[in-house]
A and B are shown apart, each in its own frame.
Chain A
Amino acid sequence: MWRYIMRRIFLQGIPVLLGFSFLLYLVITIAPGSPVTHLRGVPNLDSSVIEQRKAQLGLDQPFIVQYLNWLGRVLRFDLGLSFDSARRPVADLIKERMPATITLSLASIVLGWGIGIPIGILSARYQYSVFDYAITFFAFVGISIPSFFFGLILLYVFALKLNVLPAGGFFMAGEARTLAGYVSYLLLPSLTLGLASIAGVARYMRASLLEVINQDYLRTARAKGLPERLVVYKHALRNALLPILTLLGFMIPGIFSGAVIVESIFAWPGLGSLAIQAVNERNYPVIMGIDMMFAVLIFLGSIVADISYALADPRIRYE
């Protein structure tokens, strides 16, 4: 197993990440607009300042030189300095915001799986009942609403009309950071982000469990007189749950993308707003830093997915 993981990382991961970083750097450098655009409007700007700034940011060099410089720094674990006027280390900028995005993503996963799995199980257990149809319908609805739209509605209903939850943002300065507070700030954004997950997981769980539940070996268990409850929860579930892990691996990219929009609606202080701002300002090091981080996380997610796939199906073995 470890040999497999190592091989995956070195033979697959590294070239992929390299290729990705190269393509990405190329794409953002080609884009019209430059990091010095924000100098427009500075009173009495001396033209030498623009040239000096460009040299400082390395923009006067050809693309390949810029890329190799960036790559060299990254290999030394240095993500470089932001191109904006504050010139702060990219690593700091990401570190400041990452916990918020991770919290949001985790919360939405917890919600998605925490609600989705039980719903899916019950739906499979009581297949074709009213409950099943209702859940199935709700699941479909959940994956059919654009997340930002759902978020806006939640904001409107709970924050504006009912005034029971905060309208986005995070703790105000001086506000006590209680657990209840965390939950109240996190609830709406993670619900919005998790909505599609809940629906997807519920459906997948239901399908997976159904596939297992009607298998022959369970028929034997039932014939032996085991109560249905035991059949389902003890035997079937164990086999049905593993494939869900693969789902986790697949859903991670979607969660990161979705987080960007959700953070924008709820002013959640995560990486999303930094990423959008960085693209608008052509802040190359920040864009590269965030994207590379996501790419690494997505890659790790796919390894997790593959491993759990192997664990679930003994016929597949990686050597």
Chain B
Amino acid sequence: MDAALHQEQLTTGKKVWRRFCRNRLALAGLVVLVLFVLSAIFAPWLTDYDPNRNNLRDRNKPPSREHPLGTDDMGRDILARTLYGGRISLTVGLVAVGISMSIGLILGSLAGFFGGAVDTVIMRLADIFYSFPFLIVAITIAAIFGPSIYNTMVILGILSWPGPARLLRAEFLKLKTTDFVTAAEGIGASPARIMFRHVLPNALSPLLVSATLEVASAILSEAGLSFLGLGVPPPAPSWGNMLNRARPLHILANMPWMWLPPGTAIFVVVLAINFVGDGLRDAFDPRQDLS
């Protein structure tokens, strides 16, 4: 029976991939994402400048041959800062989601599998975290531990676990209501094994979709936190805190090279992630094959 299951999953995977590729927007999004990730990883090769080296003589210069995207108010090269900032913004997004997924997976499984009191306690905890007005709590925590890259990741991650947890729990519940479990028990398989071997793969699709969208949300939140001065602290560049520097109206009006790169970067990456997420959702939907 295991072998057959394995086979089925393989074909499903291939099917999903094929469906995904048919969606041109989603494919384009994936390509864009890969490009951004690569440019972030290979940033030191793509630019000679140190994103943190300030050069007050060259401040506020528009794009030129030396500085393809111009310089900021401390004379730092904007292209370099955008590339290195990508590292930070993308990392924050990925780690934050990693944290929330991990916590959510564990707690959601426990809640769904054991049910009863365990379920109630965990769900109440989820409600509590869910009620935290995200920004206000983020501000408070940033104050305790100080604004830093790591703290931002942890804050975003810890406050988002109820989402994945509820998802996983819902999958468990769905399975519990089917006759599948009774039937499998009848054959002799232990309920635990069944749950985990069948729930997790089924949960994979909504989880994956949810994860991609959460990365997008985390990147936006990081930008928002930095805007309030609570995200990644200077001098490290992040797309969010680069945007924050362009807040005064005269910079917004007269020096667009300061905010267009990070703003466009956030926008394009988040857009791409959303396309991918949506494409994934459609790809996992077997009804797509019919049309």
Contact status A160-B227, CB under 8 Å:
no
Tell me if B253 counts as interface (CB < 8 A to partner A). Answer: yes
| 20 intermolecular pairs with C-beta atoms under 8 Å apart | A19-B125, A32-B143, A143-B216, A143-B274, A144-B266, A144-B270, A145-B266, A145-B270, A146-B220, A146-B223, A146-B240, A146-B266, A148-B223, A155-B249, A253-B134, A260-B135, A261-B224, A275-B136, A279-B143, A299-B127
Residues of A within 8 A of B144 (CB): 27, 30-32
Contact status B263-A276, CB under 8 Å:
no
Contact status A16-B127, CB under 8 Å:
yes
Contact status A156-B141, CB under 8 Å:
no
Contact status A146-B224, CB under 8 Å:
yes
Q: Which of A75-83, A181-189, A289-297 contacts B (4 or more CB under 8 A)?
A: A289-297
Contact status A291-B133, CB under 8 Å:
yes
Partner of A152, one of B124, B220, B252: B252
Tell me if A318 counts as interface (CB < 8 A to partner B). Answer: no
Contact status A144-B135, CB under 8 Å:
no
Q: Chain B CB within 10 Å — which of A33, A146, A153 has the most?
A: A146
Contact status A144-B136, CB under 8 Å:
no
Contact status A256-B133, CB under 8 Å:
yes
Tell me if B267 counts as interface (CB < 8 A to partner A). Answer: yes
> A311 vs B259: C-alpha distance in the bound complex, in angstroms?
46
- What is the CB-to-nearest-CB distance from B54 to chain A, in angstroms, rounded to a whole number? 25
Contact status A140-B271, CB under 8 Å:
yes
> A287 vs B138: C-alpha distance in the bound complex, in angstroms?
13
Tell me if B47 counts as interface (CB < 8 A to partner A). Answer: no
Tell me if B128 counts as interface (CB < 8 A to partner A). Answer: yes
- What is the CB-to-nearest-CB distance from B32 to chain A, in angstroms, rounded to a whole number? 12
**Beta-carbon nearest neighbor of A207 in chain B:** B281
- What is the CB-to-nearest-CB distance from B115 to chain A, in angstroms, rounded to a whole number? 16
Tell me if B9 counts as interface (CB < 8 A to partner A). Answer: no
Residues of A within 8 A of B127 (CB): 12, 16, 299, 302
**Beta-carbon nearest neighbor of B219 in chain A:** A146
A244-296 contacts to B, CB under 8 A, are 253, 256-257, 260-261, 264, 275-276, 279-280, 287, 290-291, 294-295
What is the predominant secondary structure among interface residues of chain A facing chain B? Answer: helix
What is the predominant secondary structure among interface residues of chain B facing chain A? Answer: helix
A1-50 contacts to B, CB under 8 A, are 12, 15-17, 19-20, 23-24, 27-28, 30-33
Residues of A within 8 A of B227 (CB): 146, 148, 261
**Beta-carbon nearest neighbor of B139 in chain A:** A279
Tell me if A141 counts as interface (CB < 8 A to partner B). Answer: yes
Tell me if A147 counts as interface (CB < 8 A to partner B). Answer: yes
Contact status A147-B137, CB under 8 Å:
no
Binding site for B on A (CB under 8 A): 12, 15-17, 19-20, 23-24, 27-28, 30-33, 140-141, 143-149, 152-153, 155-156, 160-161, 253, 256-257, 260-261, 264, 275-276, 279-280, 287, 290-291, 294-295, 298-299, 302
- Residues 5-18 of chain B: 1 if any A CB is under 8 Å from the residue's CB, otherwise 0? 00000000000000
Residues of B within 8 A of A17 (CB): 131
Contact status B137-A140, CB under 8 Å:
no
Partner of B274, one of A144, A149, A294: A144
Contact status B135-A152, CB under 8 Å:
no
The 7 closest A-B pairs by CB, nearest first: A144-B270, A295-B131, A144-B271, A31-B144, A146-B223, A294-B133, A16-B127
- What is the CB-to-nearest-CB distance from B85 to chain A, in angstroms, rounded to a whole number? 14
Residues of B within 8 A of A31 (CB): 140, 143-144
> A31 vs B216: C-alpha distance in the bound complex, in angstroms?
29
Other than the known A146-B227, A146-B267, A287-B136, what 19 A-B pairs have Cβ atoms closer than 8 Å?
A12-B127, A23-B128, A30-B144, A31-B144, A32-B144, A146-B220, A146-B224, A146-B240, A146-B266, A149-B243, A253-B130, A257-B135, A275-B133, A279-B139, A279-B140, A290-B136, A294-B133, A298-B131, A302-B127
- Residues 193-233 of chain B: 1 if any A CB is under 8 Å from the residue's CB, otherwise 0? 00000000000000000000000100010011001100000
- Residues 248-282 of chain B: 1 if any A CB is under 8 Å from the residue's CB, otherwise 0? 01001100000100010011001100110010000
> A294 vs B274: C-alpha distance in the bound complex, in angstroms?
28
Contact status A257-B133, CB under 8 Å:
yes
**Beta-carbon nearest neighbor of A145 in chain B:** B267
Contact status B252-A140, CB under 8 Å:
no
- Residues 34-68 of chain B: 1 if any A CB is under 8 Å from the residue's CB, otherwise 0? 00000000000000000000000000000000000
Partner of A160, one of B134, B139, B253: B253
Residues of A within 8 A of B131 (CB): 16-17, 20, 253, 294-295, 298-299
- What is the CB-to-nearest-CB distance from A281 to chain B, in angstroms, rounded to a whole number? 11
Tell me if B247 counts as interface (CB < 8 A to partner A). Answer: yes
> A144 vs B273: C-alpha distance in the bound complex, in angstroms?
9
Tell me if B114 counts as interface (CB < 8 A to partner A). Answer: no
Tell me if B180 counts as interface (CB < 8 A to partner A). Answer: no
**Beta-carbon nearest neighbor of A133 in chain B:** B25
